[in-house]
Structures are given as structure tokens and as C-alpha cells.
Structure 1
Amino acid sequence: MLIYRNLKWSVIFFYTWRSMLYYLILGIAVFLIHDYFNLLELHIPFTAISALSTALAIFLGFKTSNAYERWWEARQIWGSLVNYSRAWARQVITMILSENPEQAAAVEELQHRMIYRHMGFVHALRVFLRKKYQYNEQEQEEIYEEPNEYSDTKAFLQPAEFQQFNLKNNPPNYLLELQGEDLKRAFLNGWISDYRFTKLEETLVEFNNVQGRSERIKNTPFPRQYSFFSRVFVFIHASLLPFVFVEELGWVSIPLSVIISFVFLCLDLIGERSEDPFENRLEDVPLTAISLTIETNLKEQWGDPNFPVKKDASNGIVL
């Protein structure tokens, strides 16, 4: 997630240079053909491009607005995960109890396992939703992304659990199943009452809801026709601009058409880069930061001082 108001021009250039190069070459070519070679009558009436510009602006505004709604919903979902995670740790600590002093160690071991397994669930869900990114130095793609591997969850699971976890088609859901089995075990041992069992199960269901809502956004892409036609319309608009200004402005049409085309290109890219918030890109919901926040909060609730080290955000990006 970008946190600075000012974006680095190097980042903007990374995503726009190919299109900008096309706009520049086209503007120069139209100017040379019109002013020096006089091969064709290249002028297009301004009213034609103004109608197209208005329609394109409305279309891009609609796309950007709906893309932001998807991003904001994803952020709300993970915000609720933070809240329910804190509640889960509190409930496990205060509701799973035993009146028999001889069982105190077993109860504490169960509490520790369930709280730390939930930290593993959070990290597993983050990896499950994101692409498994491998940095390609030659292609220089997504230069600010980070690797995502399930090894991040190993420290929170027992060895046997982690071994089975890696074999599952849906690893986060498997961890929720284990939590349910431990709840059942605690109930059968008399460590929680019917009412407390129900309350803890309700919190587990909320974790299912968080995962399901996240998967809905992840697996249901923004309608592809919007993405496709927005690129096509931006391309057509940019290709026509030099023909509109060259008659009256001469060489000034080159920078002017490039600047106007850049504006529409950025509007399109804003929507394009925001519509899928779980792709591990620099504009996405900061799942890593949220996961580390949950881990820190739960460790503090349990009394573990070994907090995770937060990622450096000095470059204005929170992953």
C-alpha cells in the first residue's frame, strides 16, 4: 500500500514508459507529416475528440470508483480479522479453564497451541490469497513485491501439523478445522461450558467468513470487459489527439497530446492496479503489515515479548 502523497517518478515511469514512448513518437510523426511533407490532410475537428474525451472520462471514472470499492472492501475484511483475532486470543485465555490444578499445564498448552495456530492461520491466509511471487531480475517485474511462502507459518505450528498443512488444497481452512477439533477436545474434558463452546465456535465462524469474503474478491475478477475496453478507448483517444492539435498548434501539439494522453493513461492504470487487492502489488491491501500487527497483538496478549520486526516503510510502501 502506498502511504506517501507523492509518488516516485521512477515508479510512474516504470509502468507508463512504453505508452508514453508511443504517444511521443506518434505526436512527432503527425507533426512531421503535416508540416514538412504535406502528404495528407491530417486535421480532425476538436468537437469530435471532445465528445470522445467526455465519454472516456465518465467510463474511467466509473471503473476507478468500482475498483476502489473492491479495494476498500478487502481492507474492511482484513480490519475485521484484526478485531476478531484479538477477541479470539482473549476468549481462549479467559474461557478455557480447569478447576483441577493437575490439568493446569494441559490447559495452558492447549491455549498456547490455539493462539499460535491462529497466528499461523493469518499468515497462511495472506500467502493463500497472494500470488507466489518469484523476483525476475531480468524482466524487472513488480520491483516492490515480496516473496510469499507457507514457510512463514512453520514457527506457529507443531511439526506434524505443518507437514499435513503443506499437503492441503486449502491450508488456512485446514487450520480452522484443527482449531475446531481442539475446541471439541476442551469441551469433552470439561474445560469449557456449552455457552463458552458456542461463543468460541462463533468466532471461528467469523474467521471462515473472513476467508470466504476474501476468496470471493480474489476469485471473482473485475469484469474483464471494463479492463479491456478501457485500454482500447485510451489507446484510440491518445492516437487521435495529435491530429486534433497539429493544425492550430504546430509542434506544440506534441507535448500537449502527450500530457493529455498521460492523464487518461493514469486514470486507467489507477483502476487497473486497484481492482485486485490481493495480488501482492505495491498498491494492494497491506496484508503483511496487518498479519504482523495481529501476530504482535496476540503475542502481547499471551505474554510473549518476541514481537515480529515490522517491514521498513521508508520508501513509502507498506506491504
Structure 2
Amino acid sequence: MLVRRNLKWSVIAHYTWKSMLYYTLLAIAVFLLHDHFEVLKLHLPFSTITALSTALAIFLGFKNSNAYERWWEARQIWGQLVNSSRAWSRQVVTMIIPEESHEAQMVKELQERLVYRHMAFVHGLRVFLRKPKQYNETRQEEIYEETNEYSDTMAFLSPNEYKIFCQKNNPPNYLLNLQGDDLRRAYDRGWLSDYRFVQLEQTLVEFNNVQGRSERIKNTPFPRQYSFFSRVFVFIHASLLPFVFVEEIGWASMPVSVIISFVFLCLDLVGERMEDPFENRLEDVPLTSMSLGIETNLKEHWGDKNFPASKDMSKGIVL
């Protein structure tokens, strides 16, 4: 996620240069054909482009509003995961109580396993929601995570659990099932009362809800008609602009039409870049930073001082 107030022009140029090249060449061609070679005398009235601009602005505003709602819902879902993760750590430590003193060590090992396995769940869910690196390369989009493999979870799982985890179609859900199995065994041994077992199980259900809501956003794309027709309308609008201004303002029609086209192009790109918040792009929800934050919180509560390294924010980006 971008956190710097001002965007770098190099980033903007990366996504707009092809369209801007077309707008510029078209404006120059229309001006030369109209004024110098007197080949093209087509002129459109201002009322034509005014009506089109108004309709396009309304359409793009509606699209961007709905795209932002998807992004904000994704951010709220992961915000809930942060809160529930802290609650999970506290519940595991305070609610699982040994009946006999000689069971204290076994209970502590169980608590550690439940806390650290949840860190694996968080990191695994992050990777699960992001598409493979090859997908981003085919779209020529820069990504900011070195790998999409589940290696980040290895430190929190036993070798056998990690091996099975990587083979599952839905690895995060597998970890939740393991958590539930451990809770049931703790209940059978008398380390959990009925009430405390229900409370912990309810927290696991909340993690299921977080994953399910995230998958709904991930697997339900923004209606393609909005993205497709917005690009078409922006292209048509930009193509007509030079024909509107060339008769009235002459050579100034070139910069004016290019600037106006740039404004509508950026409005279209804003919505397009926000509509899918789990694609591991600059504008996405910062899953990596939130995962590391959860890991830090849980390790601190457990007493582990081996916190993950903080990310460099000098580039104005939260991953």
C-alpha cells in the first residue's frame, strides 16, 4: 500500500506512458492535418464533448466508489484478523489450565504450538490470497514480495505439519483443523472446561470467517463490464478531444487535449488498481506488514524476543 502523500512520477509514467503516447501523437496529427496541411477540417462542437465528459465522469466516479469499497472491506477484514489474533494468544495462555502440576510442561508446549501455528496460519493466508508471481509478470506488473511460496511458515510448524501443509489445496484451512484437533484433545484431558472450549472454538470460527470473506473478494472479480467499458469510453473521449479544440485554440489544442485525457485516464486507473486488493501490487492491502505485525504481537505476548525485521518504509510503501 502506498503511504507517501505524493506519488512518484516514474510510477505514474509506468502505467500511463502507452496511452499518453497515443494521446500526444493523435493531438499532433490532428493539429498538423488541420492547420498546416489543411487536409482535415472536421470540427466537433463543445456540446458534444461536454455531454460525453459529464457521462464519463459519473461512470468513473461510480466505478471508483465501488472499487474503494472492495479495498476498504478487505482492509477491515484483516483488521479484524489482527484483533482476533491478539485475543487468540491471550485465550490460549489464560484459558488452557493443567489439572495436575506434572501436566504444566505439556500444557505449555500445547500453548506454544497453538500460538505459533496461528502465526503460520496468518502468513499462509497471506500467500494463499496472493496470486503466483508468474501472473504478475505476464501483466508486466512490478511486485514487491520475493516469493509466493509458503517458506515463511516453516519456522512455526513441525517438519511433518509443514510437509502436509504445503500439499493441501487450502493450506490455511488445514492449520485451523489442526488447531481444532488440539483444542479437542485439551478438552478431553480436562485442561479446558466447556465454557472455555466454546470460547476458543468461537475464535477459530472467526478465523474461518476472515478467510472466507477474503476468499469471496479474491474469487469474485469486479464486474468486467465496468472495467472494459470504462477503458473504451476513456479511449473514445480522448480520441475526440483534439477535434473539439483544434478549431478554437489552434496549437494549444495539443497540450489541452493531452492534459484532459490524462485526467480521465488516471481516474480510470485509480479504480482499476483498487478493485482487486489481494494481487500483491502497490495499491493493495498491506498483507505482509500486517502479518509481521501479528507475528510481533503474538511473540511479544508469549515472551519471544525474536521479532521479525521491520520493513523499510523509505520508499513510501507498506507491503
TM (normalized to structure 2)? 0.98
CA deviation map 1:65-100 (0-9, x unaligned): 000000000000000000000000000000001131
Q: Does the aligned pair in 2 maintain the 1:75–1:285 contact within 8 Å?
A: yes
Query: Which whole-Å CA distance do the structure 1 matches of 2:22 and 2:136 have between them?
Result: 25
Q: Do residues 141 (structure 1) and 140 (structure 2) align?
A: yes
- Mapping of 1:78-117 within 5 angstroms? 78-117=78-117
**Pairing 1:250–2:240 present:** no
**In 1, Cα distance between equivalents of 2:13 and 2:165:** 41
Corresponding residue number in structure 2 for 1:59: 59
Q: CA deviation at 1:313?
A: 1.0
1:136, CA displacement in angstroms?
A: 8.5
> Do 2:99 and 2:190's aligned partners in 1 also have CA atoms closer than 8 Å?
no
AA matched with 2:231: R
1:194 aligned partner: 194
Q: State the AA in 2 paired with 1:142.
A: E
Q: Residue 229 of structure 2 corresponds to which residue in structure 1?
A: 229
1:134 deviation in Å? Answer: 5.0
**Alpha-carbon distance change, 251 to 17 in structure 1, aligned in 2, over 3 angstroms:** same
2:56·2:234 contact (CA, 8 Å) conserved in 1?
Answer: yes
The number of residues matched between the two structures is 318
Q: State how far apart, in whole Å, the 1-side matches of 2:142 and 2:273 are.
A: 14
Residues 130 and 278 in structure 1, CA contact (< 8 A), matched pair in contact too: yes
In structure 1, stretches of 5+ residues that fail to align are none
Query: For 2:167, what is the secondary structure of its paired residue?
Result: coil
Post-superposition CA distance 1:158-202 (Å, at most 9, x none): 111001001100000000000000000100111000100000000
Hey, what does 1:70 align to over in structure 2? Answer: 70
Amino acid in the other structure paired with 1:281 = R
Cα distance in 1 for partners of 2:228, 2:141 equals 21
Mark the runs of 5 or more structure 2 residues left unpaired by the alignment.
none
Correspondence for 1:315? 315
Determine if contact 2:30/2:40 at 8 Å carries over to the other structure: no
Map of 1:124 onto structure 2? 124
Q: CA deviation at 1:133?
A: 1.5
RMSD (CA atoms): 1.3
- 1:213-224 matches, within 5 Å, as 213-224=213-224
Distance 1:93 1:224 in 2: 47
Residues 193-237 of structure 1: per-residue CA shift (max 9 Å, x gap): 010000000000000000000000000011000000000000000
What's the secondary structure of 1:166's corresponding residue? Answer: helix
Do 1:133 and 1:145's aligned partners in 2 also have CA atoms closer than 8 Å? Answer: no
- 2:160 match: 160
Q: Which residue of 1 aligns with 2:264?
A: 264
Aligned to 2:25: 25
Offset from partner CA, 1:43-63 (integer Å, 9 cap, x none): 111100000000000000000
Distance 1:140 1:128, change over 3 A: closer
Q: How far, CA to CA, are the matches of 1:25 and 1:245 in structure 2?
A: 15
Higher mean alpha-carbon deviation, 144-153 vs 219-228, is at 144-153
Alignment partners' CA distance in 1, 2:290 and 2:6: 23
Whole-angstrom distance in 2 between the partners of 1:251 and 1:123? 56
SS in 2 for 1:309: coil
SS for the counterpart of 1:179 is helix
- Give percent identity, aligned residues only: 75
CA–CA distance in 1 between the matches of 2:269 and 2:136? 22
Using the alignment, how far apart are the partners of 2:135 and 2:55 within structure 1?
39
- Preserved contact between residue 95 and residue 196 of structure 2 (Cα < 8 Å): yes
